Amino acid sequence: MQGLALPTWVEHAPHLTASTGLSRGKTDQVDARRIAAYAARFVERARLWSAPRPGLAELDRLSPRRARLVKVGKMLQTPLTSSETFFSAAEQRAEERGCAASLKALAADLAAVDKAIVALVAGDETLARQYERITSVPGVGPVTAVEVLLTTNEFRTSTDPKQYACYAGVVSFERSSGQRKGRPGVSHQANKRVKTLLHLAALAATRYCQQTKAYYERKVAEGKNKMLVLNNVRNKLVHRIFACVQNDRNYDKNYAPALG
């Protein structure tokens, strides 16, 4: 479609599935009719797809590769550390020797990917500027910054922090029916990788950012659930990231908005 210069509408599959109601069977012909019916019914929702720039497309290839290397490394390393109490010293050394070459190769590949990501970001003016703005937020590291850049298409297709917070699964929604009032909870229909990275960023922020740490401790002292407060911190991080990028300035803990 990009080569033909045709306007393209990309929609999330869950939206299409939810709009069809109860359905039985699946063929290409049936799917085509359902997609056409959805497009005709919700034409006002259409948002034309914007192709990522070449630099971002390359970053989108490097980031999943890094994630795969980290995952395989954990698969090899975790049994070695968790089996220490079950194996004898000799058996443990044998297990470590059996994975040593693989772990060494994975570490080298991971270092090469990290180096390529750093070079790619540094060599692209737009990526470098936004990356600097994102990582200036306390708690937000390089991996989270790259994932935010990818999932927002450099903040071109995602411009609303509230919508992105919903996409990341860090917004609580009311659960009630009639007189029954349930506890608010987050939706499971979220980007789990972004949510995990924001969770790690929130943990780091509550440890190393004095403002965030004070907020967390104050809310917990008030009797708030720790995970609820931590989720609020994740939401705050999303809004801080968007504010820094959209205002084109690094995070300033002493910043006070001008009164109009």
Q: Is the pLDDT of residue 2 over 70?
A: no
Last residue of a domain, one of 123, 140, 167: 123
pLDDT at 190: 82
Residue recorded with tokens 């997609």 = 35
Judged by DSSP in three states, 229 sits in: helix
The pLDDT > 70 percentage for the chain reads 91
pLDDT averaged over every residue in the chain: 87
Give yes or no: residues 15 and 85 share one domain. no
Give yes or no: residues 113 and 144 share one domain. no
Give yes or no: residues 41 and 67 share one domain. no
Distance in angstroms (rounded) separating the CA atoms of residues 112 and 119: 11
Give yes or no: residues 117 and 134 share one domain. no
- Identify the residue with better confidence: 50 or 146: 146
The pair of three-digit structure tokens given for residue 256, joined into one six-digit string: 């006070």
Query: What's the CA angle centered on 23, arms 22 and 28, to 5 degrees?
Result: 150
pLDDT at 260: 46
Query: What amino acid occupies position 92?
Result: Q
- CB count in 10 Å sphere of residue 181: 10
Give yes or no: residues 110 and 134 share one domain. no
pLDDT at 229: 93
Give yes or no: residues 131 and 260 share one domain. yes
Q: pLDDT tens digits, residue range 23-48?
A: 777 888 888 888 888 888 888 888 88
Judged by DSSP in three states, 166 sits in: helix
Give yes or no: residues 170 and 211 share one domain. yes
The pair of three-digit structure tokens given for residue 260, joined into one six-digit string: 């109009």
Instruction: Look at the chain and report how many structural domains it folds into.
Output: 3
pLDDT at 84: 65
Instruction: Tell me phi and psi for residue 183, to 5 degrees.
Output: -75, 135
Output the pTM of the full model: 0.82
Q: Which domain holds residue 164?
A: 126-260
**Residue 78 pLDDT grade (very low, low, confident, very high; cuts 50, 70, 90):** confident
- CB count in 10 Å sphere of residue 158: 15
Give yes or no: residues 111 and 138 share one domain. no
Span 112-137, mean pLDDT? 96
Span 124-132, mean pLDDT? 96
Give yes or no: residues 216 and 154 share one domain. yes
Q: With helix as H, strand as E and coil as C, how does 201-224 read?
A: HHHHHHHHCHHHHHHHHHHHHCCC
Residue recorded with tokens 């020797």 = 97
Q: pLDDT tens digits, residue range 170-227?
A: 887 667 667 777 666 666 778 899 999 999 999 999 999 999 999 999 999 999 999 9
Q: Is 48 exposed, middle or buried (0-12, 13-18, 19+ CB in 10 A)?
A: exposed
